[in-house]
Amino acid sequence: IFAAVEMAPRDPILGLNEAFQADTRAEKVNLGVGVYYDDNGKIPLLAAVRAAEEARLQAAPPRGYQPIEGAQMYNKAVQGLLFGPQSALVEAGRAVTFEALGGTGALKVGADFLFRIDPKAQVLISNPSWENHRALFEAAGFDVGTYPYYDAQTRGVDFPAMLDGLRAADAGTIVVLHACCHNPTGADLDATQWAQVVEVIRERGLVAFIDMAYQGFADGIEPDAVALRLFAESGLEFFVASSFSKSFSLYGERVGALTIVTENKETSARVLSQVKRVVRTNYSNPPTHGGAIVAAVLTDAGLRKQWEDELAGMRDRIRLMRSALVEKIAAAGANQDFSFVVRQRGMFSFTGLSVDQVERLKQEFGIYAVSSGRICLAALNSGNIDYVANAIAQVVKG
């Protein structure tokens, strides 16, 4: 059966974990995958999560099957985060939400559904984008292209080129957008630019699929939803994949959501019925635990406040690491200015390091980064930052 099966390459991001685990050097540092570690190098179990878990353990609820779309309480709570507490769109029944297996699971269910509607549609992702975007939409059957996004000269968004790229797309093209904390570049649009993107999407009849994996990691829960709020006000139909992996530090629980906004309640009901079939023939219905914890935290005023404070703590520590890294790379005598790192948003820095420099970091220093030059700043801490800064300074010196 397997004679013709070839060895597949390692995943460009998760494959780094495998290589990192196999590395026996004590000083090794994993700056690959987007995971937040605390200053002791540990993935935190948030206090709000722990409190909700303890309450759930006490209540000891039965573990029956969930509805195919997941728990209503969770899905409502997701909509509140995406669209705000009093959303006209939600009130009108225009949004349907599915509890999904992380942001990736949400993208996959959405992609499979879209492929059933229009298999000939082209998908456009930003250049560059999260490595899995292309793989995922191609796996769903789509042809995937790119729209211009990052400008390596300014280390920001080439916004005129982005708009031109979107204007050139055929009607019905699916455009994957990063709501905030663009992965991998950390370069985001501002509200004025988002408003222009919304207009082009409308004019050209494009389908926005917004990926929001890092809500709360740029400026906060509300400000990071600016793109979604503008899409919500526009009256357009669109897709959102959201995730609690990072914001709740619940990576392995696979807690995310697919939200589809339609023109009215009647359309929502039809869409709901079809997406349920996609889910049923894939994983049947979502697991209980992670979503129940998130819903419990989001619907309890005290726990929610505690969570928002903990999220702010993560955000602030990453900022601290940004400025410290810039200073320490300069102090280590690098012949290159890294001050742009403090302007990038979210967990990552798109360092501009070449594939060869990334390889040197790995070979000579046991420091793992994505080959695009992306490093995860949330994996830096007071114990490893000097080592990393020195190593970066060494490899840029050549």
147 sits near ligand LMR (criterion: CB under 6 A): no
Looking at residue 77, its amino acid is A
Contact indicator for 228, 82 with CB cutoff of 8 Å:
yes
Q: Is 340 an interacting residue with respect to ligand LMR (CB under 6 A)?
A: no
The per-type count for the chain, helices as H runs and strands as E runs, is 14, 13
- Taking the least distance from each CB to ligand LMR, the nearer of 77 and 101 is 101
Token pair 């419990």 in the structure block, residue: 296
Q: 154-182 burial, b for 16+ CB within 10 Å, e for fewer?
A: ebbbbbeebbebbeebeeebbbbbbbbbb
Least distance between ligand LMR and beta carbon 33 (Å)? 4
Q: Shortest distance, CB of residue 130 to ligand LMR, whole angstroms? A: 5
Residue of the chain from 13, 78, 125, 379 that contacts ligand LMR (CB under 6 A): 13
Residues 62-121 that bind ligand LMR (CB under 6 A): 104
* Residue 325 beta carbon to ligand LMR: minimum distance, rounded to whole angstroms: 18
The answer to whether residue 368 forms part of the interface with ligand LMR (CB under 6 A) is: no
Q: Does 216 bind ligand LMR (CB under 6 A)?
A: no
223 vs 252, beta carbon nearer ligand LMR = 252
Question: Minimum distance between the CB of residue 15 and ligand LMR, rounded to whole angstroms?
Answer: 10
Give me the least distance between CB of 215 and ligand LMR, in Å please: 13
Identify whether the C-beta of residue 73 lies closer than 8 Å to the C-beta of residue 387.
no
Total residues binding ligand LMR (CB under 6 A): 8
Quote the distance between the C-alpha of residue 28 and its chain's center.
Answer: 25
265 is catalytic: no
The CA R_g of the chain, rounded to the nearest whole Å, is 21
Q: Is 130 in the site for ligand LMR (CB under 6 A)?
A: yes
Instruction: Assess whether 307 carries a catalytic annotation.
Output: no
Structure tokens at 330: 């300069």
Judged by CB under 6 A, the residue of 29, 30, 31, 34 near ligand LMR is 34
Query: Of 108, 188, 246, 362, which is the active-site residue?
Result: 246
Sole binder of ligand LMR in the list 29, 33, 303, 375 (CB under 6 A)? 33
| Residue 183 sits in the site that holds ligand LMR (CB under 6 A) | yes
CA distance between the termini of the chain = 48
**Nearest distance from residue 112's CB to ligand LMR, in Å?**
18
Tell me the C-alpha distance between 362 and 398, whole Å: 15
- The DSSP call for residue 207 is E
Strand partners, 101: 255
- Of the two residues 18 and 118, which places its CB atom closer to ligand LMR in the complex? 18
From CA 186, how far away is CA 350, in angstroms rounded?
Answer: 7
Q: How far apart are CA 100 and CA 285, in angstroms?
A: 9
Of residues 108, 112, 130, 194, which has the active-site annotation?
A: 130
Annotated catalytic residue, options 158, 211, 224, 307: 211
Is residue 132 at the binding interface for ligand LMR, with CB under 6 A as the rule?
Answer: yes
- CA–CA dist 392, 371 (Å, integer): 14
Give rounded-to-5 percent helix, strand, coil for the chain: 45, 15, 40
Which residues are bridge partners to 43 per DSSP? none
Task: For residue 130, indicate whether it is catalytic.
Answer: yes
| 203 contacts 209 by C-beta, under 8 angstroms | no
Give the nearer residue to ligand LMR in terms of CB position, either 183 or 306: 183
Over the window 222 to 261, marking each residue x when it contacts ligand LMR by CB under 6 A and - when it does not, the resulting string is ----------------------------------------
Residues taking part in catalysis: 130, 211, 246
Contact positions vs ligand LMR (CB under 6 A): 13, 33-34, 104, 130, 132, 183, 213
